[in-house]
A = this chain, B = another copy of it.
Amino acid sequence: MGNDTTNSVVQYSVKLRHPQLPTAFCAALSQQFGQRFVQTRAICEQHGRDESCYDPMPPQAVLFVHTTEEVADAVRLCRQYQVPVIAFGTGTSLEGHLLAIQGGLCLDLSAMQQILAMHTDDLTVRVQAGVTRKQLNHALRDSGFFFPIDPGADASLGGMAATRASGTNAVRYGTMRDNTLALTAVMADGSIVQCGSRAKKSSTGYDLTRLLVGSEGTLGIITELELKIYPQPESTAVAVCSFADTVSAVRCVMLAMQTGIALARVEFLDKHSARALNTYAKLNLPEQALLLFEFHGSAQGVAEQAQQVQEIALELGGGNFAWATAQEERNRLWAARHQAYFALLHMRPGGRAITTDCCVPISQLADLIATTEQDCERHQMIFSIIGHVGDGNFHLLMMVDPAQPQEMALAESINSAMVERALACGGTCSGEHGI
Contact = CB atoms under 8 A, between A and B. Distances in A.
Contacts of A349: none
Interface in A245-267: 254, 257-260, 262
A359 B234 contact: no
Interface stretch (A37-45, A64-72, A119-127, A374-382): A119-127
A357 to B, nearest CB: 7
A429 B362 contact: no
A163 B206 CA distance: 10
A9 B200 CA distance: 44
Interface in A37-77: none
Contact of A432 (B165, B201, B262): B201
Contacts of A163: 203
B259 A203 contact: no
Nearest to A215: B206
Interface stretch (A79-87, A106-114, A297-305): A297-305
Contacts of A198: 360-361, 426-427
Contacts of A174: 178
Nearest to A435: B204
Contact of A200 (B213, B392, B435): B392
Copies assembled: 2
Contact of A203 (B122, B144, B262, B431): B431
Nearest to A360: B199
- Give the residue among A202, A203, A234, A359 with the most B Cβ atoms within 10 A: A203
A123 B259 CA distance: 11
A211 B211 contact: yes
A178 B431 CA distance: 16
A428 B210 contact: no
Interface string A169-210: 010001101100000000000000000011111111111001
Contacts of A297: 260, 301
A207 B210 contact: yes
A93 to B, nearest CB: 10
Nearest to A122: B361
A166 interface: yes
A19 interface: no
